[in-house]
Amino acid sequence: MAPSIRLSPAARSLFDEPLAIAVQGLGPRQQVTLRTSLRDETGELFQASARYQAGDDGELDLARCPALPGGSFSGLEPMGLLWALQPQKPFWRLVKRDVQSPFLLQLEVFEGHGQRPGRLLAQAQHERAFLRDGVRRVPVREGRIRATLFLPPGEDTFPGIIDIHGIGGGLFEPRASLLANHGFATLALAYYQFEDLPQKPKELHLEYFEEAINYMLQHPQVKGPGVGLLGFSKGGEMCLAMAAFLKNIMAVASLNAPVAITCIPLSYKDKIIPTLTLYEHKAKATNSKCLDYSDVLDDPFQAPGNQSLIPLEKAEAQFLFVLGQDDHVVKSEHYATEVCKLLQAQGKENFQILSYPGTGHCIDPPFFPLYHIGSHPVFHKRAVLGGELRAYSKAQVHAWSQIQAFFKKYLT
């Protein structure tokens, strides 16, 4: 019997779902190298490889066989060939712009454990999709709002979540599209650098975000009486500010976000909240010739009555702070810990912290490759973002399930 690759699901799976990989038809205890490849939408290549030895029966099941030293990872890691994918171009990030088309994953089995691949024994292709069958993608251009709404299949009402990305601007859809597969009506909201939104805003207006909340609550398929917010970095900061000043917000999950206003001042009605001071000279050079920016922001807890600190004690919402202990962009662990102390001092218990070792600034849904060195979102210089491959892969899976459980609990 010629060697062949067996996948489950066979042809197509969701990007955040596990994929079972096995090889059959090998010789007893045969040594092979497995390689996965994926090209992003710009054509850049991501690859991972691992060395294995088949069982006495010529079967190789990645759920039961540990990878041997010498590849991208070792040990029993059934999903290692996906989470260990790394760009061939240094400092490149895997980004999905068009969530309506899947990524195409190539799997190959080569003979032996050499530095160069041996003879090709088997290959297969698999689609990693962002939308389950029946999930609808609806572009939203209502009033000032520029967004995309993802609706789960069916005519029911669903818990509503607004998903806000970081400081890069534009419209970011992958996380919102994946959440919709899990039963949430999710609005991916742009807030600058997209279509007719400001390119370089002098200030952000909370009224714009209030309009997005009202849009969701008036939608016939969004289950009220309130919405959830999910934000990463600057987007998480905006979610926290929305919870402090606006109504109808039930639950906020914030991923590695500041708890004070940064970079762009925030206005609401007649009030302007200033930004924390940035000290670029406090960036530290590392031995990898990158900069560590973790100390450049003023500490909002050092100066009593700091005007930039978001008054979270005014919020009615439940908070989930998701943070990486190795975040080198925002001191997210310090911020979350201190702000929860302030809430506790006010007699509040509406918060929980999920803290992950070996996890940096970027916390993506499961199986997105680790992006630990890249361009700093504000200074546009090469920066340490933080994170370590294996620990981050575990954090992604755990955090993603916890975020969904959190929203199910407080939105239904």
Which residues are known to be catalytic? 233, 327, 361
Exposed (0-12), middle (13-18) or buried (19+): which is 45, by Cβ within 10 Å? middle
DSSP state of 112: S
Distance of CA 104 to the CA centre of its chain: 20
Q: 3: which 2 tokens? A: 């060697």
Do 262 and 237 touch, CB atoms closer than 8 A?
yes
Cβ–Cβ under 8 Å, residues 232 and 165: yes
Tokens of 237: 């900061």
Nearest-CA neighbor of 404 among 174, 234, 159, 138?
A: 159
Q: Coil, strand, or helix at residue 274?
A: coil
CA distances from 212 to 13, 171, 314, 317 (A): 31, 14, 20, 17
367-371 long-range contacts, CB within 8 A, separation 24+? 367/15, 367/16, 367/79, 367/82, 367/83, 367/128, 367/393, 367/396, 368/15, 368/94, 368/396, 369/46, 369/83, 369/84, 369/85, 369/86, 369/87, 369/93, 369/94, 370/83, 370/86, 371/93, 371/94
Are 360 and 385 in contact by the 8 Å Cβ rule? The answer is yes
